[in-house]
A and B are shown apart, each in its own frame.
Chain A
């Protein structure tokens, strides 16, 4: 939990889509300037928490505050959101520049085309993200990393204080994942609070400064060192996992049967340094 003023606060909030609770009694603070990863299995409620911050899902109990104001009828203005790329219709006839400009729609004038100031801002942002030359391209023609940058640009054109990303590294290759994470760290260093969801414990979650483990409730919150324990991971994912250090990296893996029977015995071949189990 951050010592700085909370940008996001969940106060005993529970959420439902109609058939039972998908997230129950969530109490959570995300401090200003934090870079937080929400981890948990599919259906754990990670995306639900993002939707609640966006005001798209109201809690059936408790409340959600963004910048100290309850999220309700008014949608938080300085929040950027990057959805899962899997949800995007890549065949839609729309260009990179048009997608980015959509982030400005609620602030733009009544005319169909963007004002000169908006066009300039779109291009400045695309240049900053290294994709200015792709402005006129249809979104399907881009690589995975370029596509992720386009939707990041659409969120950034709102000049957000808070950036929410749903599985930003899902389905991308190693290089793209590293590019995206590097970009997010840059933005975070500029003062933008970032909350992202991820399934990837080793390549993404373990590299973030702060994690929240979720499985319809908050299981644990803290640094990777604090929350990556066999007990927390078992409570989060419902299965036995081992945690160990290798070459200075904190790593997790599914527990093989002999480790499940003897949880303190971990044997890894071909390591450069002794592999130490973390209890």
Chain B
């Protein structure tokens, strides 16, 4: 069992696993709401928007987190506002706002002619290069997100399930949507150094979809999505360590493999259930 223990002698691996656990759990929980709101594309889009903000911040001499965070929150609020008008769908709003933000970043990089390691990490993720500061940011964001979701649990559930009636029953849907936009942008920003712009959407969507296929309870789906994010993060880190492959890619592929297994199991169990129902003359709806 040395292969399990050996990597923990490396501080790089320990920090990487901690980052993967925090980012996996955080993205899993936030992803539950994203998937149930049928806005899976937003993770992909917002990470691109945050990247644009981070480049603007770098050019202006501000920190990655400050500029990227502000840009991400503004982009999320803008997407939310545009899609609420119902004249432009949420998918179109995400496409326009986030690609425009990403294009700003690309334009500034091409004009400056410099492409630093920070940008490379933001684009492709560099979990093995994660710093103690990155871990503190991740832990702080995870705590803040947990607190926001705890106190807005019922309202977020109502707005996610039935936004029209939630508003009619006195839930401040605009405020709830705005808070969720901030939560999502913060989760993406904090996790971006770990997984990168290109792979963060998978960390948001895949654990939540695996959880959705495995349970019909909302609270269990939240917990399961976090657990799937954490476990695939740890397993992906081991695979990365031993196969010498980029950790963002191995974490994403581990989650995708788990999804494939759960999806096939769902199909098999569903088919068996229908056969059983046919045999016992029960109605399956």
Do A83 and B162 touch (CB < 8 A)?
yes
Q: Tell me the count of chain A residues lying within 8 A, CB to CB, of chain B.
A: 32
Q: Are A77 and B170 in contact (CB under 8 A)?
A: yes
B123 CB, min distance to chain A CBs, angstroms = 34
Q: Is B8 on the interface with A (CB-CB < 8 A)?
A: no
Question: Within A18-71, which residues are at the interface with B (CB < 8 Å)?
Answer: 18, 54-56
> Which of B161, B217, B285 lies in contact with A102, CB distance below 8 A?
B161
Question: Is A112 touching B154 in the complex (CB atoms < 8 A)?
Answer: yes
Contact A105 B161 (CB under 8 A): no
Are A106 and B170 closer than 8 Å at their CB atoms? yes
Residues from chain B with a CB closer than 8 A to the CB of A149 are: none
User: For residue A79, which residues in chain B have a CB less than 8 angstroms away from its CB?
Assistant: 168
Among residues 205 to 221 in chain B, which have CB atoms less than 8 Å away from a CB atom of chain A?
212, 215-218, 220-221
Docked-complex contact B165 and A83, CB < 8 angstroms: yes
CB proximity of B169 to chain A, nearest CB, Å: 6
Q: Does B150 lie within 8 Å of A89, measured CB to CB?
A: no
| Contact status A141-B285, CB under 8 Å | yes
Asked whether, in the complex, the Cβ of B218 is within 8 Å of the Cβ of A105, the reply is no
Q: B165: which A residues are within 8 A, CB to CB?
A: 81, 83, 154
- Give the nearest-CB partner of A101 in chain B: B154
Closest to B170 in A: A106
The listed residue (A18, A94, A106, A140) touching B285 by CB distance below 8 A is A140
Residue from A18, A105, A141 within 8 A of B171 (CB atoms):
A105
Q: Which of these, A56, A93, A99, A158, contacts B212 with CB under 8 Å?
A: A93
* Most chain A CB within a 10 A radius of its CB, from B154, B167, B170, B171: B154
Q: Find chain A residues with CB under 8 A from B36 CB.
A: 92-93
One digit per residue, 1 when the CB lies within 8 angstroms of any chain B CB and 0 when it does not, for chain A 76-106 equals 0101010100011100111100110111011
Total number of B residues with any Cβ neighbor in A under 8 Å: 27
The CA of A55 and the CA of B165, in the complex, are separated in Å by: 11
Asked if A257 is an interface residue, CB under 8 A from chain B, the answer is no
Q: Is B151 part of the binding interface, using a Cβ–Cβ cutoff of 8 Å?
A: yes
A110 at the interface (CB under 8 A from B): yes
Cα–Cα distance between A83 and B167 once the two chains are bound (Å): 13
Of B164, B170, B217, B220, which is within 8 A of A75 by CB? B170
Residues of B close to A141: CB separation below 8 A: 285
Bound complex: CA of A79 vs CA of B169, how far in Å?
Answer: 8
A223 close to chain B: CB less than 8 A: no
A260 beta carbon closer than 8 Å to chain B:
no
A24–B168 alpha-carbon span in the complex (Å): 23
Q: Nearest Cβ distance between residue B240 and chain A, in whole angstroms?
A: 32
Let me know if A56 and B154 touch, CB within 8 A.
Answer: no
Interface centre among A18, A87, A112, A141 (most CB of B within 10 A): A112
Q: Within the assembled complex, what's the spacing in Å between the Cα atoms of A87 and B161?
A: 11
User: Are A106's CB and B169's CB within 8 A?
Assistant: yes
Taking the complex as formed, is A275 at the interface, i.e. its CB lies under 8 A from any CB of chain B?
no
Contacts of B212 in A (CB 8 A): 93
- Is there a chain B Cβ closer than 8 Å to A207's Cβ? no
A112→B221 contact, CB < 8 A? no
Closest chain B residue, CB of each to CB of A142: B285
Q: Which of B166, B168, B215, B221 contacts A55 (CB 8 A)?
A: B168
- CB contacts under 8 Å to A, within B150-182, are 150-151, 153-155, 157-158, 161-162, 164-171
CB of A5 within 8 A of chain B?
A: no
Assess the B216–A103 pair: CB atoms within 8 A.
Answer: no
Contact A93 B218 (CB under 8 A): yes
> Are A93 and B217 closer than 8 Å at their CB atoms?
yes
Q: Could you tell me which B residues sit within 8 Å of A by CB distance? A: 36, 87, 150-151, 153-155, 157-158, 161-162, 164-171, 212, 215-218, 220-221, 285
Binding site for B on A (CB under 8 A): 18, 54-56, 75, 77, 79, 81, 83, 87-89, 92-95, 98-99, 101-103, 105-106, 108, 110, 112, 138, 140-141, 143, 154, 158
Apart from A93-B215, A93-B218: 8 A-B pairs, beta carbons within 8 A: A18-B87, A75-B167, A93-B36, A99-B161, A102-B162, A102-B166, A106-B171, A143-B285
